[in-house]
Amino acid sequence: MVGGGRGAFIGGVHRMAAALDGQIELVCGAFSSRPEVSKASGQDFFLPSDRVYGDYLEMITREAELPEGKRMDFVAIVTPNHMHYGPAKMALEYGFHVVCDKPLSFDIEQAEELQKLVKKTGLIFALTYNYTGYPMVKQARAMIAHQEIGKIRKVVVAYPQGWLSTLLEASDQKQASWRTDPSKSGIAGAMGDIGTHAENLAEYITGLQIIKLCADVSTIVKGRRLDDDGNVLLRFNNGARGVLYTSQISAGEENNLQINVYGEKGCLIWKQMEPNTLTVKWLDQPTQIYRTGVGNLYSQTNDHTRLPAGHPEGYLEAFANIYRNVAMCIKARVLGEMPH
C-alpha cells in the first residue's frame, strides 16, 4: 500500500474492504511521505519492519527483488491526487498490478500515459469508483442493459455534501486542506472530488457516454481556491439529456449521492444513503421496490450480495466488492484461467 498511514481516511477504508473476504492480505507498505509516520503506521498494522518502507520508490524496488511467492502481488495507491501517477507508473513498469483510488491522476496527460502503459504491459489496473460496487447499482445496470425501461431519455444525478460549507481548510483539517489545495488536488475541487463519482455512476448504470456538456462551476466560500459547487447539463451518445449537480457547500447534506434514470417505459431511482433499495416507477404500472436478497434479481446483483434479506450492506461492502473482483482477476491470471 502507498499512503493511508496514521491520520488518513481512505486508507483505512481500503484496508478494511480488501480484508473483508479473506482473499487479500496487507504485506508491505510506504504509508506516508514522512518515513517516521510510515514506520509507525507499519507497527500499527503489525507488519514486519523490513516490509515497511520510507517511500514508494524503495518499496517497489525492494519488493521486485523478492522471489515470486514472497513479493507483493499488487499495489494499492491511496494517496492524495497528486501522488497517484508516480507510484502507479513505477508499479506497472516493475510488473505489479495496481488498485488506485480515484481520480486516476493529477491531469489528463498523466492519465493518458497510464492508459498507454496498462495496454502495453497487459497488467490489471483497477480504479476504485466504489459506488459501482453496490448490489443495487449492479441491478440497475442489468435492468437497463436488458431494455427493461426502454431507451434512456434523461439522467439526473446529484451528489451534494455540506462539510465544506465554511472555510474548514483554514483550521488545518487534513482532509479539507489537501482537497482544496490545487497543488495536491488538481484543477478541480468538488467537481473532481465527488463530481467524478456522479459522472462515473451515470455512465456505469446507463452504459452510455457523455459526449457534450455545459457547466457552471463556482467557488461559493470566500477564500477557497477551488470550486465547491457545480451544475452541469449533459448530452449522451444515444441522444439522451442529463443534469449533474455536485456540491460540498450544501449545508445539512451528508453524502447524498442519488441518481434517476428515465427511459421510455419508466424510471430507476437509487440513493446511496439507502443503498439496499432500488425504486422503479413505471409509466403504466404500480411502482416497484427492489431490495437486496429478495426476489428474482440478476446474477450480477446476487454475486455482489453477502447477507440475507434485511441485513443491511453498505459502503465497506461495496468497496470490498471491487477488491474481491480484483483478487479474482489476479487469481485467474496465476491459474491461467478466465475470470468469471
pLDDT of residue 7: 86
Domain ranges of the chain: 10-128, 132-307
Which CATH number does 132-307 carry? 3.30.360.10
Q: Provide the CATH topology of domain 10-128.
A: Rossmann fold (3.40.50)
pLDDT of residue 295: 86
Distances (CA, A) of 114 to 35, 90, 259, 323: 27, 10, 30, 20
pLDDT of residue 88: 99
How is residue 294 annotated by DSSP? S
pLDDT of residue 340: 67
Specify the amino acid at residue 95.
Answer: G
Contact call for residues 103 and 81 (beta carbons, < 8 A): yes
Residues paired with residue 125 on neighbouring β-strands, in sequence order? 98
Pairwise CA distance, residues 214 & 199, whole Å: 14
pLDDT of residue 339: 75
What is the b/e burial string over 270-294, where b = at least 16 CB atoms within 10 angstroms of the residue's CB?
bbbeebbebbbeeeeeeeeebebbe
Mean pLDDT per 10-residue segment, the chain (340 residues): 94 97 98 95 97 97 96 97 97 98 95 98 97 98 98 99 98 94 96 97 99 98 98 99 99 98 99 98 98 94 96 96 97 84
pLDDT of residue 172: 87
Distances (CA, A) of 44 to 39, 41, 316: 9, 5, 21
